[in-house]
Amino acid sequence: MPDKQNITVLGSTGSIGVSTLDVIARHPERFRVVALTANSQIDKLFQQCQQFEPEYAVLLDADAAESLRQKVLDHGLATQVLHGIEALELVSSLPQVDSVMAAIVGAAGLRPSMAAARAGKRILLANKETLVMSGQIFMDAVRDHGAQLLPIDSEHNAIFQSLPRDFGRGLAQVGVTRILLTASGGPFRTRALAELEQVTPEQACAHPNWSMGRKISVDSASMMNKGLEVIEAHWLFSASAEQIQVVVHPQSVIHSLVEYADGSVLAQLGNPDMRTPIAYALGFPERIQAGVSALDLFKIAHLDFEAPDMVRFRCLGLAYQALRTGGTAPAILNSANEIAVAAFLDGKLPFLAIPSIIEQTLEQLTSVPMRSLEDAQNADAQARLLAAELIARA
């Protein structure tokens, strides 16, 4: 048995973080948690500290961190409590850490993920915004510092499993013609378009197959989540926009496919449970138990496929547009979407206005070449300000 793998879990109280800790708890002989981080869920993070006894716990907010620190002291735990973005970067790059689960939702995950890359860690990337916002800069950091990147999104993990190990030579060189990125279509796939004007956040968050956080659930309902995954696939697999085809597959059993020059199409199948890709990445290159039930093909009985409705799902088209534009356009897209989704969840914006806010933001801000992380952060800040102004005027 190899030495224990030391792990930092960024975003440990979110759905991906909780699933990661579930898999880790099944293999105490293989994994040790060094650091856990959260945005504001003090009680949940404290419970995790009690169970896993990490060296560090990090909260973004100073007051929340102080409350957790007192709880930790009162219960005699040895965990050191820190706060702030710099602390997230610290626990992502600690010398004793082997792997970093990057599961912070949104742009907030960019800096700690980059810190892990620059420290040469194995990065289990569940934060798609890191690649959407910083693209080439992040991939260069992974390459230049000898980091290893393993995708956690079920679709990208499926693609990774279906590609030859040497796909880094180029897709054409290894005989790959297309990546087929599956999408469930979310809760509104068959709903009349006119009805979507009145949908509530609760309806948008009621995903038919997956249990996810509210922001990601809304992104799935608008298919922006798939659009962000198209951009992510571009960077992970050096695939052009034309080489990435979105396929709506309502059952969410085939998680994605890879098409080869000889006519073969390889797919990864499994029940819709994020513990499967998490366990694959944690154990890579070995396979380990994930706690996921076996796929019953007889119960599924049939699998359906359809082309995405680009009128219904305008966000998907906007993502392809941003990918083709390049530069800071994907960062602008992502940031405008975060602001628009937050406004929708707060009852300040109708669901169908989300793509309109994103489109206006893309039109009014000029994409510039991405030369540094600061370019991504500046685009992010400008897009957030403009999107908020557009929503206020709507």
pLDDT tens, position by position, 135-183: 999 999 999 999 999 999 999 999 999 999 999 999 999 999 999 999 9
Residue with tokens 């800096």: 111
Asked if 368 and 356 sit in the same domain, the reply is yes
* Within-domain flag for 310: yes
The pLDDT tens digits of the residues spanning 211-251 come to 667 888 899 999 999 999 999 999 999 999 999 999 999 99
pLDDT in the model for residue 36? 98
Choose among 286, 276, 285, 380: nearest CA to 336. Answer: 380
Report whether 29 contacts 57 (CB < 8 A): no
Give the mean pLDDT of 250-263.
Answer: 96
Residue with tokens 């948008």: 204
% of the chain at pLDDT higher than 90: 86
Q: Is the confidence at residue 29, as pLDDT, over 90?
A: yes
The number of folded domains in the chain is: 3
pLDDT in the model for residue 333? 97
Asked if 11 and 118 sit in the same domain, the reply is yes
90: containing domain? 5-151
Q: Is the confidence at residue 294, as pLDDT, over 90?
A: yes
pLDDT, averaged across the chain? 94
Better pLDDT: 77 or 197: 77
* Within-domain flag for 321: no
* Within-domain flag for 62: yes
How far apart CA 262 and CA 208 sit, in angstroms, is: 35
Work out the burial of residue 270: count CB atoms within 10 Å of its CB; fewer than 13 is exposed, 13-18 middle, 19 or more buried.
buried
* Within-domain flag for 286: no
Least confident span in 123-127, 139-143, 204-208: 204-208
The pLDDT tens digits of the residues spanning 348-379 come to 999 999 999 999 999 999 999 999 989 999 99
What is the pLDDT confidence band of residue 335, given thresholds at 50, 70 and 90? very high
Work out the burial of residue 266: count CB atoms within 10 Å of its CB; fewer than 13 is exposed, 13-18 middle, 19 or more buried.
middle
What is the pLDDT confidence band of residue 27, given thresholds at 50, 70 and 90? very high
Asked if 89 and 215 sit in the same domain, the reply is no
What CATH number is given to the structural domain containing 74? 3.40.50.720
Q: Is the confidence at residue 51, as pLDDT, over 90?
A: yes
* Within-domain flag for 254: yes
Q: What are the φ/ψ torsions at residue 266 (nearest 5 degrees)?
A: -100, 140
pTM score, whole prediction: 0.92
Asked if 113 and 52 sit in the same domain, the reply is yes
Asked if 171 and 146 sit in the same domain, the reply is no
pLDDT in the model for residue 211? 61
pLDDT in the model for residue 23? 98
Q: Is the confidence at residue 280, as pLDDT, over 70?
A: yes
Q: Is the confidence at residue 121, as pLDDT, over 60?
A: yes
Q: Is the confidence at residue 210, as pLDDT, over 70?
A: no
* Within-domain flag for 305: yes
Asked if 251 and 132 sit in the same domain, the reply is no
Q: Is the confidence at residue 2, as pLDDT, over 70?
A: no
Asked if 79 and 114 sit in the same domain, the reply is yes
Asked if 22 and 64 sit in the same domain, the reply is yes
Q: Is the confidence at residue 1, as pLDDT, over 70?
A: no
Listed residues 126, 151, 176: the one ending a domain:
151
Asked if 194 and 102 sit in the same domain, the reply is no
Report whether 344 contacts 357 (CB < 8 A): no
Asked if 239 and 121 sit in the same domain, the reply is no
* Within-domain flag for 202: yes
Asked if 78 and 94 sit in the same domain, the reply is yes
Q: Is the confidence at residue 380, as pLDDT, over 60?
A: yes
Q: Is the confidence at residue 98, as pLDDT, over 60?
A: yes
Asked if 128 and 209 sit in the same domain, the reply is no
The pLDDT tens digits of the residues spanning 316-329 come to 999 999 999 999 99
Least confident span in 74-88, 181-195, 294-308, 323-337: 181-195
Q: Is the confidence at residue 13, as pLDDT, over 60?
A: yes
pLDDT in the model for residue 290? 98
Report whether 19 contacts 40 (CB < 8 A): no
Choose among 114, 183, 125: nearest CA to 150. Answer: 125
How far apart CA 51 and CA 77 sit, in angstroms, is: 11
* Within-domain flag for 179: yes
- Helix locations, the chain, DSSP H: 15-25, 42-52, 62-74, 85-92, 110-118, 128-144, 154-162, 201-204, 214-222, 224-237, 275-283, 297-300, 314-325, 329-345, 354-364, 373-393
What is the pLDDT confidence band of residue 129, given thresholds at 50, 70 and 90? confident
Helix H or strand E segment including 257: strand 254-260
Listed residues 151, 171, 188: the one ending a domain:
151
Listed residues 316, 349, 369: the one ending a domain:
316
What CATH number is given to the structural domain containing 330? 1.10.1740.10
